[in-house]
Structure 1
Amino acid sequence: MILTTDVCIVGAGPGGALLAYLLAKQNVSVILLERHKQVAKEFRGEHLNEEGEKILKKYGLFSKLEEIGLLRMETLEYWEDGKLFKTIYPDSKIGHLGIHVPQAHLLSVILDEAKQYENFTLMTGTNFTDLLQNEQGCFKGVIANQDGKEITIQSKLVIGADGRYSTVRKKAGIDVKLRKHGYDLLWAKIPAPDGWEPSIKMALIDGMQLSLFTQAKGYIQIGWNIEENSYPQLRKQPFTLFITKLIKAFPQLEQTVKEHIQSWKDFVLLDVHSNFTETWGKDGLALMGDAVHTMTPTGAFGLNSALMDADALSTIITRDQISQLDLISCEMQRKKEVQRLQKIQIEKEQTFATQFVIYS
């Protein structure tokens, strides 16, 4: 099968989906590829900041998202030995300290809008396998596989929006600089106890950060930093000793923790790293989101940066002309912002323990 389109986007996460919608709205034909059968796969970075909120409002998506469900964080709290000792409230002009948006909600809103345009095509269960190049080395499309059948998609521009382990980036031969941050992360999700207010709660356990993020639909996401590469050894230790520390930090969670975190299998391990590439694209190809600037979970910048990439790219891609010079200019502008945010992440990670000096 051979298909033709103006732009082929690999990866239907929030960034790729938003860009596909914005281009389709501008009469640019788009094929959006997603390897999963369902685009609403679970992911961890589900918090909007004011920048992400601003972009969704800019395109009339935020009100639709609000109708189906989101949750504004009302406080940022610091706890020590089961007691609250510091509370930070949002700037009145912003009105929140982050907004939890389930990925299923965000993607359904974006894709429902995109599906209104005949020049938009979503292909789920479709694996990207290779890039097409002409004799001059310019990228001219992709090869994909759907249910065992090979599909050739010819396009003026390929966008790699396929995440931190981007296959598009690898196939394009673009090198990435990976930075380790000295910790890995354990995720868990539990029902919130009755009366739990929308908040972000922080504690310091054995010198490492423990975070609780309230989620829509009555859940709490636990993010627990552990020393880098320590999980195999940690799993050999009694599980109850580990959980006791969580309950001591937040006694109000004792019942729900004991009911829903009963073994190491109830945690998901995230290999924490950030990366950055000097080259964000080549002739006929551009990268965006985690494919070109993976963030750590600190500050919840990842989702919002992907939305910012989509916003920026949508302003320079037209049906009639896709200028490499414009792509390079866009890349330079976004690089500066991403480097600034990654620097903030490192500073936050290095200074987190200073929030608890009152107890030192």
Structure 2
Amino acid sequence: MNYHADVCIVGAGPAGTLLAYLLAQKGLSVILLEQNAALGQAFRGEHLNEEGEAVLKNHHLFEAVESLGVLRMEKLEYYADGRPFKTIYPDEAVGHLGIHVPQKHLLKAIIQKAQLLPNFTCLLHTKVIKLVMDASGYYKGVTAIKGGDTIKINSQLIIGADGRYSTIRKQAHIDAQKHKHGFDLLWAKIPAPPGWEPSIKMALIEDKQLSLFTQVGGFIQIGWNIEQGSFPQLRKQVFTPFIQQLSDAFPELAKTVTERITSWRDFVLLDVFSSHCHSWGIKGLVLLGDAVHTMTPTGAFGLNSALKDAECLASLLNKDTLAHFNVQDFQQMRKQAIEEVLAKQIEKEQTFADNFINKAS
């Protein structure tokens, strides 16, 4: 089966979904492809900062997202010896220190609006296997597998919004410069105890960052930095002393931690790295979000940068500009901002321990 569209977007994460909606609003025909059978299945960052919030508000999407459920962080606390010694509150003009937005809420709100537009199509459970190139070396579409059938999507422009391990980037032979940061990350999720306030809490465990993020629905997400590549050896060790460090750092969670995190299997490992591409696209193809500039979890910048990418790219595309779109224009709009964020992440990682130097005794 063959499909035809002005734009084919691969990857229905925040960047791809928002871009699809914004372009369809402009009258472009858009096909959005997602390899998973449902939206929001892959793990992604879920915290909005001021920039991401502004993007959604610019396009009258935030209210729809909020109606599904969000949670504003009311304070940031640094813990030592089992109690907070420094607390940071939000600027009154901002009203939060980040907003937890479940991935499924964000995508659902955008997709629902996009589906009201007749020129928008979303194909789930559709995995791209090949880029299609014309005789002049210009990318003109993709071949994909949907439900066991091979389909082809012909388009004037292909957008790779398919994440840190982007198939589109690899198929287009665009090199990514990968940078390790010296740590990997263990994720876990536990119920919040009664009376837990929407907050971010930080501790320092053996010179590594331990973070708690309150989530919608009464949960806490735990992010625990460990030495890069150490998990295979770590999980061979006895589990109890390791998890006791979490209970010691946050005593109010001791009971929940003991009940909910009982083995290494209760953690999810994230291979932490950042990357950037010198080229953000080639003839007929553009990359955005993690596909072109992967970020670490530090500072929760990834989601917000991806949303900003989508907004900026959408501002350059319409019926008149599509045929002669120059990816360099998009790259120039976003390159400096992305470089600044990546540098800020490194600075935050290198100076995190400084927050604990003058801790209260």
TM-score, normalised via structure 1 length: 0.98
Counterpart position of 2:344: 344
Paired amino acid for 2:231: Y
Counterpart position of 1:142: 142
Deviation, 1:321, is 2.9
Deviation, 1:148, is 1.4
Report the secondary structure of 1:211's partner residue: strand
Aligned 8 A contact 2:317 2:325 in 1: no
Deviation, 1:323, is 5.4
Paired amino acid for 1:230: S
User: Residue by residue, what CA displacement relative to the aligned partner does 1:82-140 show, whole Å, maximum 9, x if unpaired?
Assistant: 01100011111111000000011000000000000110000000001111111111100
Counterpart position of 1:258: 258
For residues 1-360 of structure 1, the aligned pairs below 5 Å read 1-322=1-322, 326-359=326-359
Deviation, 1:42, is 4.6
Question: Mind listing any 5+ residue stretches in structure 2 that lack a counterpart?
Answer: none
Paired amino acid for 2:351: T
Residues 42 and 171 (structure 1), Cα distance of their counterparts in 2 relative to 1, 3 Å cut = closer
Deviation, 1:196, is 0.3
Q: CA RMSD in A?
A: 1.0
Give the paired residue count. 360
Deviation, 1:333, is 1.7
Deviation, 1:44, is 3.7
Question: Mind listing any 5+ residue stretches in structure 1 that lack a counterpart?
Answer: none
The separation in 2 between residues aligned to 1:325 and 1:122, in whole angstroms, is: 23
Aligned 8 A contact 1:188 1:268 in 2: yes
Deviation, 1:324, is 5.0
Deviation, 1:67, is 1.2
Aligned 8 A contact 1:3 1:152 in 2: yes
The separation in 1 between residues aligned to 2:171 and 2:8, in whole angstroms, is: 15
Aligned 8 A contact 1:177 1:276 in 2: yes
The separation in 2 between residues aligned to 1:40 and 1:170, in whole angstroms, is: 23
Report the secondary structure of 2:3's partner residue: strand
The separation in 2 between residues aligned to 1:329 and 1:26, in whole angstroms, is: 19
User: Residue by residue, what CA displacement relative to the aligned partner does 1:250-307 show, whole Å, maximum 9, x if unpaired?
Assistant: 0000111111101000000000000000000001000000000000000000000110
The separation in 1 between residues aligned to 2:57 and 2:16, in whole angstroms, is: 18
Paired amino acid for 2:85: F
